[in-house]
Structure 1
Amino acid sequence: MIKNKMTELLKIEYPIIQAPMAGGVTTSNLVAEVSNSGGLGMIGAGYMTPDQIRDQIKEIKQLTTYPFGINLFVPNEFTYTEKEIKGANGHLQPIYKQLNISDNVNLDIPTSNHFFEKFDEQIQVVIDEKVPVCSFTFGVPSIEIIAELKHHNIILMGTATTVEEAVEVEKLGMDMVVVQGSEAGGHRGNFMADDEKSLVGLMSLIPQVVDHVSIPVIAAGGIMDGRGLMAAICLGSKGVQMGTAFLTCIESGAHKLHKEGILHAKEDQMILTRAFSGKWARGINNKFISDFKNHEESVPHFPVQNNLTQHIRKAASSQNNSDYMSLWSGQSPRLAKSQTVEVLMKDIIAEVKNINKHLSNITVE
């Protein structure tokens, strides 16, 4: 199997990282099973409190002795106006009534300072619990935080959607960069490029980034099997980060309707939207996204809109109503399967070996 700088740094058998999907998908069982199967399991801790993170880390340590990692959202300053809040709420009220959500729910928006303080506390938990790998999305942490984490021998990974962002990740001293192609499910990880410029396809993005950085490049976006892994390796990446493929696994904490939605979806049902959170994200088109199509440019930015819609998403999940759930998915749903992590990992490795065998028989003259 493929051994390189990525597998060496992460101390894993196979160059496969389970994407750190926030919002409850990355259960302790999912993370542990990926690590037990030779990959790197990752906690999607973006929305978690420091106490929740600490508890899950301890739980995972009971389930695996292999390395695992954690992903954090880098906080950014944000502003909003009362007009924006009033407008967004006006569009959401009919849905509140449809889902029988009380008018008295708490819609207070935390300040930027709240998120920065929470981030600092999350970082401290990562250090205290000696998590070996930490990745970041939506930006890059300060030089001081990077230095502190590296002082504790924690391997650091940044997320980039363009060459410029990847170069910045390396310049700040991180050990690896995850390049997120436009095919990826969930939120876009851009932090320098604007939304439109961040939508570079993965197969175009990999070789361009590889030519401009010296740290290991990890490919993310639409990769579901051994074919995707080998294609990424051939283009210069050292490994892959896979989300949707693991989301439909038995051990995943995704809602059953979310899993079923992906398993029965077609590639042309995937759409980019900022209706749910105020940040562009890819998922299965549904009634909520369609209804907001003409309003999404005016909704408040992340995390404000995310806060405003959280009660809708929670109620829809509890009522098994997929019309109002955020069904994040990459662009390759036809390749998704309902299976255990162990089976998925074994199938990927078997496919890679078969491809290698086939390639060895090709003669180039």
Structure 2
Amino acid sequence: MSSALTDLFPHPIVQAPMAGGPSGPQLAAAVSDTGGLGFLAAGYKTADGMYQEIKQLRGLTGRPFGVNVFVPQPEHPESGAVDLYIQQLSGEAAWYETELGDPDSGRDDGYDAKLAVLLDNPVPVVSFHFGVPTREVVDSLHRAGTFTLVTATTAEEALAVQQAGADAVIAQGVEAGGHQGTHRDLPENDGAGIGVLSLVAQIREAVNIPVVAAGGIMRGSQIAAVLAAGASAAQLGTAFLATPESGAHALHKQALTDPVFPRTELTRAFSGRPARGLVNRFMREHGPYAPVAYPEIHHLTSPLRRAAAKAGDPQGMALWAGQGHRMARELPAGQLVEVLAAELDAAAALLGRSASGGDVR
């Protein structure tokens, strides 16, 4: 990673921007203040809502931070499939005594308005998910003094990120919780994701920009492993989900280590796009029938998810989590960064002794 960007956060620890509530100003400030790079998630917020959170975060910390933006999605031709899924979910609406959402509530997530705010009020780092911004957008952010990162799930996608002029690529392995940041959502690619260690190695051979590794990382030893594979930093989401500063629902936090939810799967059930979450009733019953239709299905199921949370029913909630969820620790976010950094130092020392032929027991 370029020295200028590395200097922004002393520890190679990036807090993933988790949209929908978890990644707010309190969490980002705690991470940045302790030497990591905290992130706000602008996804599903209005441009003004994003701006207000940026103002709040700046009042909490003087350290650098990032803001994540969703790239607008192309139109999907499966309008009939969406109508069928509406029928599929009618029983859920009756059960939770709520109306289904409007699938046509908007496709671009206020992208242009958010970019305008970020250019008028520059932040240190902006990352992009679900696709690659244009070269013009990247150049304009660079002129504003902002570093840019873009998610990729394959080496081919990483090449597109490099060609757009981004400063670094986030290599998102299939282990990652929440939405996969694939640039083109194709049903034939379902289940074809690459593990983070293999992905980092492939991307390092394909591009010459720095790599940030993401996917199931919960311990400092795992950070050491992705650094050894060629990454310059690690991005952790689920590890920060259980912290008190996280805005995740209490039921979501509890479910991470609840034996009732022993595993995760990728599903389209809640949003129409592949996302990894804890397997629950909603996912089992509706995942096989969910169409390729993001953000239509996200809008459609939003009232159901809110109603399930209000009813205290985690079986109807989107419990996003990475494959390492059972390793979640209920530590304050700043303390978690310090623990991860200490674990990383210990693992790096062990790797160093092993590489030099020392006695490793």
Same fold by TM (over 0.5)? yes
Three-state SS of the structure 1 residue aligned to 2:319 is coil
CA distance in structure 1 between the aligned counterparts of 2:43 and 2:98, rounded to whole angstroms: 25
CA contact (8 A) 1:10 1:67 kept: no
**Cα 1:7/1:35, change in 2 over 3 Å:** farther
**Displacement after TM superposition at 1:358 (Å):** 2.7
CA contact (8 A) 1:185 1:244 kept: yes
CA distance in structure 1 between the aligned counterparts of 2:202 and 2:351, rounded to whole angstroms: 24
Letter in 1 for 2:96: L
Letter in 2 for 1:326: A
**Displacement after TM superposition at 1:265 (Å):** 4.8
Three-state SS of the structure 2 residue aligned to 1:292 is helix
* 1:338-360 deviation line (CA, Å, top 9, x unaligned): 11012211111111222233334
CA contact (8 A) 1:20 1:243 kept: yes
Q: Does 1:18 align with 2:18?
A: no
CA contact (8 A) 1:251 1:340 kept: yes
Three-state SS of the structure 2 residue aligned to 1:120 is helix
CA contact (8 A) 1:162 1:198 kept: no
Q: Which moved more, 1:338-347 or 1:48-57?
A: 338-347
CA distance in structure 2 between the aligned counterparts of 1:288 and 1:41, rounded to whole angstroms: 31
Question: TM-score normalised to the size of structure 2?
Answer: 0.93
* Among 39, 52, 58, the residue aligned to 2:36: 39
CA distance in structure 2 between the aligned counterparts of 1:334 and 1:111, rounded to whole angstroms: 35
Structure 2 unaligned runs (5+)? none
CA distance in structure 2 between the aligned counterparts of 1:97 and 1:6, rounded to whole angstroms: 55
* Among 298, 322, 327, the residue aligned to 2:314: 322
Q: Does 1:86 align with 2:86?
A: no
Letter in 2 for 1:107: D
Tell me the percent identity: 36
Q: Does 1:364 align with 2:357?
A: yes
* 1:313-342 deviation line (CA, Å, top 9, x unaligned): 111111111111000000011211111012
CA contact (8 A) 1:270 1:329 kept: yes
**Displacement after TM superposition at 1:111 (Å):** 5.0
Name the counterpart of 1:343.
Answer: 335
**Displacement after TM superposition at 1:364 (Å):** 2.5
CA contact (8 A) 1:7 1:15 kept: no
Letter in 2 for 1:23: G
* 1:84-107 deviation line (CA, Å, top 9, x unaligned): 3331111111111111114xx652
**Displacement after TM superposition at 1:130 (Å):** 1.5
CA contact (8 A) 2:268 2:292 kept: no
Three-state SS of the structure 1 residue aligned to 2:14 is strand
**Cα 1:83/1:157, change in 2 over 3 Å:** same
Letter in 2 for 1:174: A
Name the counterpart of 1:109.
Answer: 104
CA distance in structure 2 between the aligned counterparts of 1:242 and 1:8, rounded to whole angstroms: 18
Aligned length: 355
Three-state SS of the structure 1 residue aligned to 2:288 is coil
Question: TM-score normalised to the size of structure 1?
Answer: 0.92
Name the counterpart of 2:211.
Answer: 217
**Cα 1:45/1:6, change in 2 over 3 Å:** farther
* Among 271, 275, 279, the residue aligned to 2:269: 275
* Among 107, 115, 118, the residue aligned to 1:126: 118
Letter in 1 for 2:203: V
Q: Does 1:50 align with 2:44?
A: no
CA contact (8 A) 1:267 1:333 kept: no
Three-state SS of the structure 1 residue aligned to 2:265 is strand
Name the counterpart of 1:353.
Answer: 345
